[in-house]
Chain A
Amino acid sequence: MRNRTVKVDYLARVEGEGGILVKIKEKSITDVQFNIFEPPRFFEAFLRGRHYTEAPDITARICGICPIAYQMSAIHAMEHAFGVTVDGQLRALRRLVYCGEWIESHALHVSMLHAPDFLGYQDVIQMAKDHPETVKQALQLKKTGNELVALLGGREIHPINLRVGGFHRVPTHRELKLLADRLNRAREAALNMVRWTATFPFPDFERDYEFVGLRHEAEYPFNEGRLVSSKGLNIAVSEYENHFVEEHVEHSNALHCVLRERGPYFVGPLARYNLNFDRLTPTAQEVARAAGIAPPCNNPFKSIIVRSVEMVYACEEALRIINEYEPPARSMVELNPRSGVGCGCTEAPRGILYHRYRVNEKGIITDARIVAPTSQNQKTMELDLRHFVPDRLDIPHERLTWQCEQVIRNYDPCISCATHFLRLDFDGT
């Protein structure tokens, strides 16, 4: 039998440092490792001893792409600990800033990181030579998302305006209205993005996943809801640790997360979409059906279409919130810190992000736990490779390597939520 070793020093177009090892023997996969070698950063440890008000700003530094998600999960966890509910326009503004983050993150991944895979380009630079208008539209979308985050978050990078109980400052009616025109154009660009990505060639690959995400009684989920799955899970966020466990594996510096009862699961846009299709706007539903991805969609490669559908939704939801906006009398609700434990789980662009904090009577954090979406998808990514490769051992090696990279990029992994590459090694005999 032909021996072969495929090695890619690093795979671009993902966030973070890691690698993949696929061992093949007698046309069978004997081992798959999604190897995260980037050192841990100990955020949970240095949250200990800090005041609860600092948690949103400290955790926002975990990720340059989805800081709002970290802030939101931290804020909801603290409010849970203190027995505080934020509603009305403040709640709506939280959804609005989350719309901005989804638009910005999804536009980046769809157009600059993922689309080149399907069209056979090495990167977005090569793709832009043939598809300049599409890339321009995507950049415009991304910019609109940034503008929403900048307005609500105080600045685009490492936003600082969100706080436990609300905001430091709320926007004026006029400031929001100024964004409406741009959001209308962004909505059109997102619709075009759905139609464009739907034309891509997709590998014939499906698995029987357990999709996990938030589900709210009336809304497509950002900040709130119960944790549900496609295989019957239906729990309150506070029950998360009764059902999900983290395991250390030797080849990864990120803990693997599994459902205690059933093992690996899938979080992110495809999971949200399959669990909450009926909560999308009519336009988003219609364009998704026209794109040929009526749920359930079990092909992870088609997550690129789903991200585009979610951008349509986020633009429409942002426009709805802006149209209904009345500045609240106060930028935050009163709260009284008390000792206790609080949990928060929100839908980051890449999937559910769980935070749990213990605080003492002075509001000092004594314990923290953070479970990021990519950590939860690690085992599912490995299983995808394990199922994907055996049927494709006869295709040219370079092509197989490319497709394996695509398998990983389907998840838009943010390996450390901060850094920069993924190595891919095949060890085949």
Chain B
Amino acid sequence: MAFQVALIGVGNEERGDDGVGLLVLRTLRASLEGRLRLLELGGRVDRLLEALDGCEVAIIVDAVQSGAPAGVIHRFEYVNGSLPTNGLRGSTHTMSVGDALELAWILKKLPSHILVYGIEGRAFDLGDPMTPEVRSAAQEVCQRILEDVGRLEDRTIGPCPSARQAL
């Protein structure tokens, strides 16, 4: 079954740990270019809806702040149209990832399979450096995403048709 898989990095790289979604995506770019659709959203979470358009599987990486220690990795998985908001509320962005996914769900534009990696951050002010724990967690998330993609590709035939549309 040919289907579209998107890897989407969310965050503002000028705000310390908030940039970890972009760090993960950029780290994986060399390995995954041409295999999936790679999208950097920066802080423009409103564009997540457009990024999801036409995808069957979306892997989203963003920083989160739930009170857990910096570097803790949260993984959420939603399949077959369940409403993906648990744990995704709140954001340094104008619209949270949870908001955008809920809107996509209401509009019946939600991919059938969504994986969200949230990396717990501590430093979100403008100009903050990324904390070492978050940087290490990014490497682990990269490894886990490669494993996810491998499993997904076992179910596919060929790369996604629009892989070259990466921004």
**Interface residues of A, Cβ cutoff 8 Å to B:** 12-13, 15, 39, 41, 64-65, 108, 112, 123-125, 128-129, 132, 135-136, 139, 142-143, 146, 150, 155-158, 418-420
14 more contacts with CB within 8 A, not counting A112-B46, A146-B47, are A12-B94, A41-B126, A124-B103, A125-B99, A125-B103, A128-B103, A128-B107, A129-B106, A135-B103, A135-B107, A139-B50, A150-B167, A156-B167, A157-B44
Closest to A155 in B: B167
Nearest Cβ on chain A to B68's Cβ, whole angstroms? 22
Interface residues, chain B, CB within 8 Å of chain A? 12, 14, 40-44, 46-47, 49-50, 53, 92-95, 99, 102-103, 106-109, 126, 167
Q: Kindly list chain B residues whose C-beta atoms are within 8 Å of the C-beta of A142.
A: 46, 50
Q: How far is the CA of A135 from the CA of B95 in the complex (A)?
A: 16
Offer 27 A-B interface pairs, CB within 8 angstroms, sorted by A: A12-B94, A13-B94, A39-B126, A41-B126, A64-B43, A64-B44, A65-B44, A112-B95, A125-B99, A125-B102, A125-B103, A129-B106, A132-B108, A135-B103, A135-B107, A136-B109, A139-B49, A142-B46, A142-B50, A143-B53, A146-B50, A155-B167, A157-B42, A157-B44, A157-B167, A418-B14, A420-B94
Are the CB atoms of B94 and A15 closer together than 8 Å?
Answer: yes
Establish whether residues B99 and A123, one from each chain, have CB atoms under 8 Å apart when the complex forms: yes
Across the interface, which residues of B come within 8 angstroms of A139, CB to CB? 49-50, 107
- CB closest residue in chain B, given A147: B50
Residue from the set B94, B95, B167 with the largest chain A CB neighbour count within 10 Å? B94
Asked if residues B94 and A128 are in contact (CB atoms below 8 Å), the reply is: no
Residues of the A chain whose Cβ atoms lie less than 8 Å from the Cβ of B46? 108, 112, 142
Set of chain B residues within 8 Å of A157, measured between Cβ atoms: 40-42, 44, 47, 167
Are A128 and B106 touching (Cβ within 8 A)?
yes
A132: which B residues are within 8 A, CB to CB? 106-108
How distant is A12 from chain B, measured CB to nearest CB, in Å? 8
Closest 6 interchain pairs by CB? A128-B106, A155-B167, A143-B50, A157-B42, A125-B103, A125-B102
Question: Chain A residues with Cβ under 8 A from B44's Cβ?
Answer: 64-65, 157
**Contact indicator B47/A156 (Cβ below 8 Å):** yes
- Docked pose: A12 CA to B93 CA in angstroms: 10
Q: A123 CA to B94 CA in the complex, in Å?
A: 12
Chain A residues, Cβ within 8 Å of B108 = 132
Least CB separation from A107: chain B residue: B46
The smallest beta-carbon distance between B59 and chain A, in angstroms, is 19
Provide the residues of chain A in CB contact with B92, threshold 8 Å.
420
Partner of B106, one of A125, A150, A419: A125
* Chain B residues closer than 8 Å to A150, beta-carbon distance: 167
A136 CB contacts on chain B under 8 angstroms: 107, 109
Q: Give the docked Cα–Cα distance between A417 and B103 (Å).
A: 24
Bound-complex Cα distance A142 to B53 (A): 13
- A420-B47 contact, Cβ under 8 Å, with A129-B106, A155-B167: no
State in angstroms the CA–CA spacing of A132 and B43 once bound together: 25
CB-CB under 8 A from B109, the residues of chain A are: 136
Residues from chain B with a CB closer than 8 A to the CB of A135 are: 103, 107
Residues of B within 8 A of A156 (CB): 47, 167
- B44 CB to nearest chain A CB (Å): 5
Q: Which residues of B contact A146 (CB under 8 A)?
A: 47, 50
- A139 and B106 CA atoms in complex are apart in Å by 13
Task: Tell me how far the C-beta of B19 lies from the nearest C-beta in chain A, rounded to whole angstroms.
Answer: 13
Q: Which chain A positions have C-beta within 8 A of B167?
A: 150, 155-157
CB-CB under 8 A from A125, the residues of chain B are 99, 102-103, 106
Residues of A within 8 A of B102 (CB): 125
Which partner residue on chain A sits nearest B91 by CB separation?
Answer: A420
Q: How far is the CA of A5 from the CA of B49 in the complex (A)?
A: 38
Q: Which chain B residues border A65 with CB–CB below 8 Å?
A: 44
The smallest C-beta distance from B121 to any residue of chain A, in angstroms, reads 15
How distant is the Cα of A135 from the Cα of B94 in the complex, in angstroms?
Answer: 18
CA distance A258 to B26 in the complex (A): 44
What are the residues of chain B within 8 A of A12 when measuring CB–CB? 94
Q: Which residues of A contact B12 (CB under 8 A)?
A: 418
CB-nearest residue of chain B to A129: B106
The 8 Å CB contact of A64, one of B42, B49, B50, B99, is B42
With A15-B94, A150-B167, A420-B93: A158-B42 Cβ-Cβ less than 8 Å = yes
Q: How far is the CA of A129 from the CA of B107 in the complex (A)?
A: 8
Rounded to whole Å, the gap between the CB of B6 and the closest CB of chain A is 14
Q: Complex Cα distance A258/B47, Å?
A: 35
How long is the Cα–Cα vector from A420 to B46 in the complex, in angstroms? 13
Distance (Å) between the CB of B127 and the closest chain A CB? 9
Give the distance in Å from the alpha carbon of A44 to the alpha carbon of B40 in the complex. 27
Complex formed: what's the CA distance from A135 to B99 in Å?
14
A136 to B109, CA, bound (A): 10
Instruction: Give CA–CA (A142, B100) in the complex, Å.
Output: 15
Find the residue from B12, B47, B92, B103 having the highest chain A CB count within 10 A: B103
Beta-carbon nearest neighbor of A16 in chain B: B94
Report Cα–Cα, A135/B103, bound state, in Å: 9
B residues in contact with A155, CB < 8 Å: 167
User: Which residues of chain A have C-beta atoms less than 8 A from B107's C-beta?
Assistant: 128, 132, 135-136, 139
Residues of A within 8 A of B103 (CB): 124-125, 128, 135
